Every structure is written in C-alpha cells, then in structure tokens.
Structure 1
Amino acid sequence: MVWKNEFISWDPNDFCQIHRVFVIGETLWRPDLYIYEMTETFSDSIDVLYFTIANTGYVSYSAPLRIISNCNLCIYKFPFDTQKCNLTFGPYVQPIRDILMLPRQNSTEINQIVKEILVSKGDWTLETINVTKETLYNAGEYYSQVIYEITMKRAPVVYVINLIIPSCFLVFLDLASMYIPTATNERLSFKITVILGFSVVFLILNSMIPNAKDVPILGIFCCVCMAIMVFSIFTSIATSYMHTFAETQQEVPQWVKIWIMKYLARILCFRLKPTEKNLIAVVIDDKNSVLGIKSEAETELRDKSRGTLKQDRAGLDIKLLKRLLVEVLKIHQQIVLQTLRNNEESDWHFAARVVDRLALIVYYIIVIIIFAILFVVWAS
C-alpha cells in the first residue's frame, strides 16, 4: 500500500541525490487497513518493519501475507462449478473523509501480473480478477473500499474419474440386471451387490463435497439413482413372490386379473391371454360336440340293431365304441382340469412379466430424465 505524507519531503539535490530511504515505521502514521473477509491470521507470517519513503512524501509498505478468508460457495454444479470470492480492502475505523481508497492497478494489469506469478496446486484454475472501488455506508458514516473479485474454476478431472464414471457404470450395471430372469434369485442377489457398491460411492462423495448450504446436482443424482435401485429391488421381490405363488398353484386374485393382466398388460403392449371363462366355454362346446356325435352314433346303431337283430357282431362293436367314448371323455376331462391348473400357474408368470416390464420402463424413464437434467445443468 502507498500513501502520501504531506509532512515528509526533501530536495534530492540537497541530500546527495537521495531519492528514497528505508526507515522503521514505528513513529510514522500508517493507514487503518483491514481485509474484511479475513477469518484467521498466521503467526508464521513475515512481519516487515521497514517503510520506504520517497522524496516526494509518498510512503509505501510491502509485506507478504497469508490469508484465510471466507467465501460464499455455490456448489450446485459441483464438480463443474465456478466460484467468485471477494477480498475487500478498506479502513476499519476511519471514514472516507480521512482515507480514500484507490486501486493501484486496473483489472487488466492485475490479471497479467497474477497469471505470471500464480502457483496453483491444480485443484482450481484462476479465471479473472476484477477490481472495483466501492463505498460502504455504516452507522451514519461512509467508508472507502477496494474490492478484488476473484473468479476461480474447479478442476473436475479427479471427481469425474472417482465419482461420476463409477456412478454411471453402477447405474448401467443395475439397469442391465433387469434382464436377468426373475424365476431365480440371481437377480436379487446381484442387485444387492450393486447397491452396496453404490453405497461406497456415496461415502466417497460425502468426503469430497465441500460443506455448503446448497445441495449439488451430483448428490441429487446419486440419491435418485439409489432410490430407483431400491425400487427395482422391491419389484424383483414382488416378481419372485409371484413365481412362488405359481409353484404353489394358488388362484390368481380377481384384481390381479383385471388391473395387471388386462389393463396394465394392454398398456405395456402384451398379447392378452384368453380368460378362463372363454377357455371353459370352448371346452364345453367341444364336449357337447363329442356328446352329440355320441348320441347320433347311438341312434344310428339303435336303428341298425332293430333292423338287423341277427348281426350280433355289430352289437358287440357298438358296446365297444360306447366304452371307448366314455374313456375318451374321461381323458378329455382330465386334460381340461390339467389345463386349468397350468393356466393358473401361467397367469402368475404372466402377471410377473407384466410387473417386471413396468419396472424396467419406469427405470429407463427415470434414468433418462436424471441424466438429461444432469447434463443440462453442467452444460449451462
């Protein structure tokens, strides 16, 4: 910082061409300069005691200073976020009538100087530094300030490799597990393994995200992905439960037949199964047709037996045919009963496939929406 002391000046010609001197500034006045965002000072900072005084009366004081300052972070776009932090220099006690603050360099000069001397760790990239002069009004007094607005951009490579790519792989892996057959328990165990791996990603995310009041879109993405993984586990449990009902040959409830096997299956473009009522009607018609053939054959044989009583061999054949028809009808009845039992089992499998396809479609829709929102937020 540089200021002018009106009580100090000399002619270099009178003092051996001395244009400046270095003195210990214990007796010199110095501005009441303060950094408003400073939260902590370091004891290992170098304290420079010497002031440079020019023959024109300008006094300059330069000293290195390590500062820890506060900054309002907006991590909604983490790890592709850009932060703007301020360093406000100004007097703490003396108002504007006593001290008027002016920036020594403009924004262009400061950006050029900083980019030449900046040593970065690699986590952040300096974008720009803007210098403005402001006036603060407080308690009836005006205070002069110089504000340095520092714009920094986060380097996202580490977070992309350690967080985003593993999260996407786990989501795609869980989505691919929806194609594992639900008749076995392999899908359920596989999904539980995937969700345990995603929990590890959550722990890494929690340790990497800085503390702020905003919730990052990456955290929302991980929460939604965890939620749909849990939802897919519940649907896998439901389909496995339906397959268990199919093995025990329990009757399908009426609401399952109406809402799942009829309406939901039609919405999801399934080929509808013939209902039990229609199947029984067809069977009854077939049985009546067989019984009609039987009665017609009996009438015809009765007429022939009356006309030809002497044909005993024909009568024996007729009795044999009657027994054969009775046995065929019994076999037909057993086939119908077995078909109905098989239909009960196939109905549970059909309902399980409908629920499984619904879960897959919902999974696809949610994943596409959350990825689209994620890319739009990061791209903007």
Structure 2
Amino acid sequence: MVTLCFISLYAFIEVSVFKQDTKQLLLNVRLDAVIVWQDPELKWNTTVYPYDQVVLPVNKIWTPEFYVTNALVTNMKHASRDLLVFSNGTLKHQVSVTAQVSCEVNLFNYPFAADDCPVAIESWASDDCGTQLELGHMTPIDGSHGDWQTDAVQLLKQGEGRNYIWVSLSIKPSNPFITLLLPSVLILLADVGSFALPLTGGERNSFKVTLVLSFTMFLNILSEQLPGDGQCSPIIRIHFCICLVLLVLSMLVSMILTRVAHDGGLLMCCCFGGSASKTTKNKKVDDENKPDISVVQLNDSEENQTLRKVRHFLDGLDEKEVENERRQKIAHVLDRIFFWIYFICTTGYFIGMLYVMARYTCIVNHFDFWL
C-alpha cells in the first residue's frame, strides 16, 4: 500500500460570471472544472484486467478539493456521480464551484466603470504535504448578465504558487445612463428653458419649485440603484448633489428677481413700507378735508385748487408707472445676466463631469485580502 503525501492536481476551468452586486460590491462566479490527478493505488495491470479505463462511483473514491481564497462563500459540487479511472492511476472528474467574492471594483466612473477582479484559487497543502494545484487553459462562457459584462478572463500567478483568475469587467452604460444620468440632464435643461417664462405672474417660480420637488422625488426613488461606497466612491453621488444645488439656486434667484420686479426688492420694500403708510395717511387726511363738490358751489380759486390736485394725482400715477417700469427693466437685465451665467456654468459643469466620469482612473488595491 502506497501512502501519498503530495498529489498534483490539474484543472481546466470554464469561468462564468452570473451576477455582480454593485450595491454590496460582490461578484458571483461559477467555475466548471475538469480535474485530473494521479492515485497510484488505483493502478492495475491491463494484462490481468484487459480494460484501459473504468467508471467508478465518486462517493467511493477520494477526490481532491480546491477553494476560492477571497470568497465569502464557496460551494463545490460534483458535476457527475461517476468519475473516470485509467489503468495508469490517472483519475478524471468534473466539478462545479460557485463562489461569492468580495471584489473592490472601481466604481468612481459609474456608469462608465470598468475594472478587474481577482478570483484566487488554492488547494489544501500543509508543510509540503497536500495537493499541488496547476491550472490549465481558461474559457469564459456566458459573460453578459444585467448591467455588467465579462470582457476577458486570464490565468495569472503572484508568488508562493498562488494562482488567481483575473476577470475583467465593465458596465454596459446604456441602462444606467438612461435611468440615472439622462433624467438629471433633462431636468436641468428644463430649468434652463424656464427662463423663457415671464418673470412676473408667478408661472416661472411655480415651474421651478415643481422641478426641485420632482428631482428630489427622483433621487428618493432611485437611491436603491446607486452603487455602494468603497475605496473609490462613485462620483455620480456628487453629480446629483450639484444638480440639486443648481436647481435650488436657480429657484431662489428667480424668486428674488420677481420681488425686485414687483416692489424693488426685499430691502427696498421695507424702506418703502413706512413712506407708503405715510402717503396713505396723508391721502386720508386730504380726503377728509376735501369739500363735497356735489353740494358746494365752487368759486374760481377753489376750482383751480381742485384742478391742481387732479393734476398732482395724475402726475403721481405717471411717476408710479415709470418707477414700476424701471424696476421691471432692472429685474429683466439681472435675469438676463443670471441666465447666461447659469447656462455657461451648467454647460461647463456637464462637459467637465462627463469627461471625469469617462477618463479619470481611481486606483484600487485588489490584493488586500493577501496582506
């Protein structure tokens, strides 16, 4: 009887990424492997037993195992109840390994994110005794699920005989762009277009308040779709914050300019409030002292005085109309200036944000689980 202390295990693996949890940064993979190893105890002489290979039940034969080092959960199952044994002691079997890997994917550029994720594979060995794992060729299969797609799979090594499968992933940006980025762009575009509404009358202010509320509800509804935090926090969170600040700022400026067009502004209305009350009191006194022209016969001097008061009243109306026109003109000039500033800043911000999302690279340490 031969006692083996070290067994060489060869594995030919098909890799399938069937789920990528962006919220919790988890990668779910399935490895379908064909494993080959040597067991001298199962050799036989073909002259005595004239068969080169036989099929034996897997539960009667010792089979090696391998596991994913950086996986939270690993489950290895036999793909068949039988295995193939050759006359020279070589055994061949198929297994399926499912693993949930904690993968720190770079999500800074979300929804244009692309990164690599290592899947470390090891077999049991202790004090130069155990199973030596050697990986053969890799084949990616069915690499597109949900918003993520598998671009490439490579077999690499990193010292001390450690093997890992280097899985390259990327997000298909169509769905996140339509559900996240496009609505924010359209809401800010509608806010820019709201400057075409008249400043007075309240239509513009009502429309801007509706936009702010709509954007807030939009963030609350889609908060569950935003990716989780990691070493590289998604910049799309900052993008939504800046969009909300721009909308609120535009709404407040529009309200202030509406007040300016109405009575000259918040400070001027407080100053004019006292003078307006005095004017009202003086008007009441004049109305009390004014004689009733229906019962009093006017002489020439009283008639001239009445005409003079009518003229002063009409002049006051003209001055008030001129003042209102001046205030509206100032408000419209300020509104036009703010529109161009807001338009230039919004356009520049979107260009800069899209450039950062598409081009900036955040460095992530994918091998911290071996430190």
TM-score with structure 2 length normalisation? Answer: 0.66
Please tell me whether the aligned partners of residues 73 and 212 of structure 1 are also in contact (alpha carbons under 8 angstroms).
no
The alpha-carbon distance between structure 1 residues 197 and 378, as it changes in their structure 2 partners (threshold 3 A), is same
Q: Which residue number in structure 2 is paired with residue 168 of structure 1?
A: 185
Q: How does 1:87-166 map to 2 (within 5 A)?
A: 87-94=119-126, 98-105=130-137, 110=138, 113-115=139-141, 118=142, 120-136=144-160, 144-166=161-183
What is the distance in 1 between the residues matched to 2:267 and 2:86? 102
- In structure 2, the CA distance between the partners of 1:96 and 1:132, relative to structure 1 (3 Å rule), is farther
- Conserved 8 A contact 1:46-1:63: yes
Residue aligned with 1:88, SS: strand
Q: Which residue of structure 2 lines up, in the alignment, with residue 52 of structure 1? A: 84
Residue 85 of structure 2: SS of its match in structure 1?
A: strand
The TM-score, its normalising length taken from structure 1, stands at 0.64
- What residue in structure 2 maps to residue 38 of structure 1? 71
231 and 248 in structure 1: CA distance in 2 versus 1, 3 angstrom threshold: closer
SS at match of 2:229: coil
Gap change, CA 1:230 and 1:92, over 3 Å in 2: farther
Q: Which amino acid aligns with 1:101?
A: L
Give yes or no for the alignment of 1:237 onto 2:255. Answer: yes
Contact 2:261 2:330 in 1 (8 A): no
Question: Taking structure 1 as reference, are residues 186 and 49 closer, same or farther at Cα in structure 2, changes over 3 Å only?
Answer: same
Return the offset for 1:227: 0.8
- Structure 1 counterpart of 2:304: none
The answer to whether the Cα contact below 8 Å between 2:84 and 2:92 also exists between their aligned partners in 1 is: yes
**Residues in 1 aligned to 2:120 and 2:265: alpha-carbon distance in whole angstroms:** 75
Shift of 1:228: 0.5
Deviations, residues 218-237 of structure 1 (Å, cap 9, x unaligned): 33222211110000011011
2:25 pairs with 1:14: no
Return 5+ residue gaps in structure 1 as ranges: 137-143, 254-328
Deviates more, 1:225-234 or 1:362-371: 362-371
Contact 1:246 1:346 in 2 (8 A): no
Equivalence for 1:192: 209
**Whole-Å separation in 1 of the counterparts to 2:71 and 2:86:** 31
Superposition pairs for residues 184-333 of structure 1, below 5 Å? 184-213=201-230, 214-246=232-264
Checking the alignment, whether the CA contact within 8 Å between 2:106 and 2:115 is kept in structure 1 is yes
Counterparts of 2:264 and 2:158, CA distance in 1: 77
| Separation of aligned partners in 2, 1:211 and 1:251 | 49
Quick one: structure 1 residues 95 and 249, their matched pair in 2 at CA, closer, same or farther if it must change by over 3 Å? closer
Deviations 1:282-312 (A, max 9, x none): xxxxxxxxxxxxxxxxxxxxxxxxxxxxxxx
Rate the CA distance shift 1:157–1:363 in 2: closer, same or farther, 3 A.
same
Decide whether the 8 Å contact of 1:71 with 1:85 is kept in 2.
Answer: yes
Tell me the SS of whatever aligns to 1:150: strand
Shift of 1:151: 1.2
Aligned to 1:316: none
CA contact (8 A) 2:256 2:265 kept: no
> Does the 8 Å contact 1:91/1:145 carry over to 2?
no
The root-mean-square deviation of aligned C-alpha atoms, in Å, is: 3.7
Q: Which runs of 5+ in 2 are unaligned?
A: 1-34, 272-307, 360-371
1:69 and 2:87 are equivalent in the alignment: no
Paired with 2:334 and 2:54, the residues of 1 have a C-alpha distance of 88
Deviation, 1:330, is 11
1:240, 1:166 → 2: CA distance? Answer: 28
Higher mean Cα deviation, 17-26 or 237-246? 17-26
Q: Secondary structure at the match of 1:63?
A: strand
Work out which of the two has the higher radius of gyration on C-alpha atoms and give 1 or 2. 1
**AA aligned opposite 1:10:** W
Classify 1:52/1:46 alpha carbon distance in 2 versus 1 (closer, same or farther; 3 Å): closer
More helix by share: 1
Partner of 2:194: 177
Task: Kindly indicate whether the alpha-carbon contact (under 8 Å) linking 1:51 and 1:59 is maintained by their aligned counterparts in 2.
Answer: yes
The 8 Å contact of residues 23 and 51 in structure 1, kept in 2 or not, is answered as yes
